[in-house]
Amino acid sequence: MSEKFHRPPVIVRWMLKKFLPETDTKYLCGDFDEIYNAIFLEDGWLAARLWYWSQLIITIPSIVIHLIYWRIAMFANYVKIAWRNIKKHKGYSFINITGLAIGMACCILILMWVQDELSFDRFHEKKEDIYRVISDWEKHNWKGMEGTPGPLAPAMEEAIPEVLFTARLAGHSRMVFKYGDKVFYEDRGVIADPALFNIFTFPVLKGNVETTFSKPTDIVITESMADKYFGAQDPMGKVIDVEGQMATVTGVIQDPPHNSHLQFDYMSSFEFIRDLSGYGTTWGSFNFVTYTLLQKNVNPDIISQKLTDVAMKNECPQVKDGASFRLQRLLDVHLDARRYQRAGYVLGDQTTVTLFSVIAIFVLLIACVNFMNLSTARSSIRAKEVGLRKTVGADRSQIIKQFFGESILLSTIACLFALILVFSLLPRFNALSAKQLSVDLTNGRFVFSFLGVVLLTGLISGSYPALFLSSYKPVVVLREAVSSGKKGSVFRRIFVVFQFSLSILLIIGTFIIYKQLHFIRNKELGFDKDHIVFIPIKENMGAKYETAKNELLRDPNILSVTACWNHFPSDTWRGAGFEWEGGDPVNQRELDLVYTGVDYDFFQLLGLEIVDGRPFSKEYASDENNAYILNQAAIENMELDDPVGKQFNIPPDDRGPIVGIVKDVHFQSLHRKIEPRIFFLYDMAKATTYGILLAKVRGGRIPQALAGIQRVWGEMNPISPFEYHFLDETYDQLYRKEQRVGSILNYFTFLAVLISCLGLFGLASFMAERRTKEIGIRKVLGAPVSGLVVLLSKEFSRWVLISNIIAWPIGYFAMKKMLQSYAYRTPIGIEIFILSALLALVIALLTVSFQAVKAARANPVESLRYE
Amino acid sequence: MKYLTRKEELVLLAICRLTEGAYLVNIREYLNKQTEKKWSVGNVYVPLDRMCKLGLLESYTGHPTTRRGGKAIKYYKPTKKGIEALAEIKKVHEAMWAGLDHLAFE
């Protein structure tokens, strides 16, 4: 027999070695090698190899079972010890679990919110290749305006081969829909090109997409709207009366999901707006939103450039003026939404998403820090256990595992409470955030992220105790009593400082957001918005406007009546290409103005100050035709001295003199700077779709005035339901989103502070407990209770003060960045920082002093008796 | 007390038969031959290890050989307790088989 040794495959041997029982590895390896060699000699190389491999494979199940068995055995022991610890120290466990539960619940709620925000528009099948055309206006420093000129879509489809489809969209104003005895206002309507269905995934339930819009009066409605009007009947072919026009239902689509940035109830043909005088369909009016579907893998930047070129070729005045087009990915639309709001569009905000994610992490971290602090503070109690475990043979990694196990157990318990919290808080949170979130335990993604949160919490909060406690040397621990250690207390200090820095940061943030909201709501807009009621001009109200006005003015409770051609707090119509006497051609090309068509008395009713010239007046018959009033911003842009009396021309040819200059006022959200504006008299008979009638009513007699308005309305419009709004409320609503963010932030800040205080409370009680003897001796020697309270609270106050110093600069820069989204912002005053500092200090002291007082008032006999 | 399992019994018997120098490889060979079945390494090792732990077997280390790639050999021999356990299981067998021998020869 050849004595030559044949070596089995190295990798397999290596793996096999890993699996073999530790004590006998070397013998077993030898045995395997021997058998391998025997087979090698007998049946050859291949058989030996196969045998060797098969050995590896058949070993695996037994190995796994072996491993799991021992893991479980040890795990069971850890769980038992952890459970005993929880029961033994009920107070600490309560603090830990409550803190973790609240922290996790916050975290989960916020993550659900964030997840929802991120899910927008992801349901479209071709989402990767859909883009929205937006424009950047260099001159005004506007970025991402969603308006585009009407002719752009067909032009780009023709000129750029990569463009597969384009669809234009415009919003409908509120319309009255009538079918049988069912009469409703419908707000959420869009005018769209049928190609919309080729681009987006809005499943069509009934009707044929190709032919839906064959007539201008055809409309497509959503499932829920079909249900509202027709119930069980087949909606196809039914005729709805839309403000006197007969619209035929030619299709039914599924309701757009809530996480679609496009929200609408019905859709009508683009032909429809041909009849509407208010809509400019030239290259100069940016009234439409354009969506496009590109071929796969086309670089959108190149197309963007081509778009601008197309517009340039077609002599779009704004583009000639420096505006440029750009493609925005559909997936970015929701979160990139700049503050250009149009009816029916859900807006998201990247900053809020980031802000909330950061807060979620903060709150969870604070809860984890509680856990770390309390477990290290009590380390002396656990030290003996660690010592003993090590003596009987546990190595460090096992102790580490044990403590991680313990923290994961605790976080699992906490997660059950967190789930209960989430379930019970969800309706409230939904109301607060205006979302429809729901806990779906069958959703793998939710369960997965939930478990992720639990595991993460366990790992973070267990990390420090695991590493710290496992480092104890058994000899030291078992021989002498361990103090909780210098090292430990340094870390504890850092942790408390860290915790409070986060809390103070959140307090500062909340204060500043509130201050900004307060600032916005109370900022002088420059005109009088109180006691003004407005009603949309509907039906034949436009035609009868003069009559209605006279009728209304007869009511003693109504002081003044006027009208405007659009809902000026949110809508803007703009134009460019003006000319004026003495104007520099460059200026003339660059100027663009917001059009505002008004009735007489507009300026008087809103208390707008005319700084030069005069308001429109019936005394000047020529005002009726063409006369203009500009605001100061416009005059400044025009660089015109002594403007009153100069001739002004709106293209193509509407010449008239400038009769007055009106003061700059904030007609729109304070996110935006005051824009140049032009006012002219407008015949309200034409303003049937968008116009509003404004009435100033006598303060204190509002209900009577409203009754009067309703009576007049009823006489003129037997069909349309009466509706009214208050101007000041409308302005408040412009900031609803901010208010929402503000109140959510408010709640979470409160919770973060609460959790921090829970931790501090636990720590303080622990410290007081450890110092009972010291306090006893001090008392015997004559220390007053007040002195002892100061002694015990002093250290904590110092920590909180240090936290302030850390939180202030971070807070300052973070808030400065946040406020940049407002054109008009409140100053970040020092008072906010001082207030936050005081608040944090007071809360911390209250928490600590409760324990301190308790300890200081204890009878020294109790604490010293057993010495 | 628990009786030996069948596997343990076979392995222990094999060790007794091999007298000196019983170790995993030759125990397995012997078992393969006698039972006409393929014994895997694990099938032999697990009873060996278990019986060592129960004190039925004792082990001693032998010198490495070239065939084994220079690795030491772990030899096994039965302890007194091991022999007793074998005797006990034999007694049980016989008691159970008494009067039923005809079953095995049919």
Mean pLDDT per 10-residue section of chain A, whose length is 867 residues: 69 75 76 84 85 78 70 79 83 84 87 83 86 79 75 85 86 78 81 84 80 77 88 85 82 86 83 57 78 87 87 81 83 65 48 80 84 76 81 82 83 89 87 78 77 85 81 76 60 83 86 83 81 80 81 88 84 77 76 85 87 85 83 85 84 83 84 83 75 86 87 79 83 78 83 84 79 84 85 84 90 84 79 88 84 81 71
List Cβ neighbours of A161 (8 Å cut-off, separation of 6 or more).
Answer: none
Phi/psi at A463 (5° precision)? -60, -50
Assigned token pair, A132? 């929205």
Residues in B closer than 8 angstroms to A5, CB to CB, are: 66-70
Q: Nearest CA of chain A to the CA of B44: how many Å?
A: 11
Q: What is the dihedral of CA A486, A490, A492, A498, to 10 degrees?
A: 180
Strands (E), A537-637: 558-564, 573-576, 579-580, 592-598, 610-613, 628-631
CB-based contact B72 A59, cutoff 8 Å: no
Assigned token pair, B87? 């005797």
A257: nearest Cα among A219, A208, A298, A201: A201
- Among B25, B39, B49, most A C-beta atoms within 10 A, so best to mutate, is B25
Assigned token pair, A177? 């829909």
Phi/psi at A203 (5° precision)? -55, 130
Q: Which domains are delineated in chain B?
A: 6-105 (1.10.10.10)
pLDDT score recorded for residue A736: 77
Q: Is A282 left (phi over 0), alpha (psi -120 to 50) or beta?
A: beta
CB-based contact A27 B25, cutoff 8 Å: no
Numbered residues of chain A with Cβ closer than 8 Å to any chain B Cβ? 3-5, 7, 21, 24, 26-35, 37-38, 55, 58-59, 62
Name the one residue in this structure whose structure tokens are 């023709």: A158
A492: nearest Cα among A400, A582, A374: A374
**What is the C-alpha to C-alpha distance for residues A115 and A453, in angstroms, rounded to an integer?**
14
**What is the C-alpha to C-alpha distance for residues A35 and A30, in angstroms, rounded to an integer?**
9
- Vertex A498 angle, CA A453 and A82, to 5°: 50
| Helical ranges in A213-329 per DSSP H | 223-230, 300-313, 317-320
**What is the C-alpha to C-alpha distance for residues A589 and A577, in angstroms, rounded to an integer?**
6
- CB A243 within 8 Å of CB A134: no
pLDDT-derived band at B14 (thresholds 50, 70, 90) equals very high
- CB A242 within 8 Å of CB A175: yes
- What mean pLDDT, rounded, does chain B reach? 85
Instruction: Count residue pairs from A and B with Cβ separation < 8 A.
Output: 59
> In chain B, which residue's Cα lies nearest the Cα of A34?
B68
Assigned token pair, A83? 């459970």
Through-space distance between the first and last CA atoms of chain A, rounded to whole angstroms: 82
pLDDT score recorded for residue A1: 43
- CA dihedral sign, ordered A611, A613, A618, A622: negative
Cα–Cα distance list, A139 to A136, A143, A145, A255, A315 (Å): 9, 10, 13, 40, 18
> Is the ipTM reported for this complex over the cut 0.85?
no
Per the omega criterion (within 30 degrees of 0), is the bond before A317 cis? no
- CA dihedral sign, ordered B15, B21, B24, B28: negative
pLDDT score recorded for residue A62: 67
List residues bridging with A249 in a β-sheet: A219
- CB A775 within 8 Å of CB A858: yes
pLDDT-derived band at B80 (thresholds 50, 70, 90) equals very high
**What is the C-alpha to C-alpha distance for residues A531 and A695, in angstroms, rounded to an integer?**
8
Name the one residue in this structure whose structure tokens are 């906490």: A414
Numbered residues of chain B with Cβ closer than 8 Å to any chain A Cβ? 23-25, 28, 40-42, 45-46, 49, 61, 64, 66-74
**pTM strictly above 0.95:** no
CB-based contact B69 A3, cutoff 8 Å: no
Q: Which of B49, B67, B71 sits opposite A21 (nearest CB)?
A: B49
Assigned token pair, A599? 């009735």
Arithmetic mean of pLDDT, B60-85: 83
> In chain A, which residue's Cα lies nearest the Cα of B38?
A51
Q: Nearest CA of chain A to the CA of B45: how many Å?
A: 9
Q: Nearest CA of chain A to the CA of B7: how many Å?
A: 17
Q: Nearest CA of chain A to the CA of B88: how many Å?
A: 29
Q: Which of A5, A26, A27 sits opposite B67 (nearest CB)?
A: A5
**What is the C-alpha to C-alpha distance for residues A73 and A65, in angstroms, rounded to an integer?**
12
Helix, strand or coil, per DSSP, at residue A823: coil
**What is the C-alpha to C-alpha distance for residues A88 and A512, in angstroms, rounded to an integer?**
44
> In chain A, which residue's Cα lies nearest the Cα of B43?
A59
Q: Which of A7, A55, A59 sits opposite B69 (nearest CB)?
A: A7
Residue A653 buriedness (CB in 10 A; 0-12 / 13-18 / 19+): exposed
Q: Nearest CA of chain A to the CA of B56: how many Å?
A: 17
- Among A7, A27, A33, most B C-beta atoms within 10 A, so best to mutate, is A27
List Cβ neighbours of A397 (8 Å cut-off, separation of 6 or more).
Answer: none
C-alpha Rg value of chain A to the nearest Å:
37
In this structure, what DSSP letter does residue A328 have?
E
Q: How many helices (H) and strands (E) does chain A have?
A: 27, 25
- Vertex A446 angle, CA A445 and A451, to 5°: 100
CB-based contact A37 B41, cutoff 8 Å: no
Assigned token pair, A511? 């204060």
Secondary structure (H, E, C), A639-708:
CCCCCCCCEEEECCCEEEEEEEEECCCCCCCCCCCCCCEEEEECCHHHCCCCCEEEEEECCCCHHHHHHH
CB-based contact B73 A29, cutoff 8 Å: no
- CA dihedral sign, ordered A307, A309, A312, A314: negative
CB-based contact A27 B74, cutoff 8 Å: yes
Domain segments of chain A as ranges: 10-85, 127-347, 351-521+736-864, 532-733
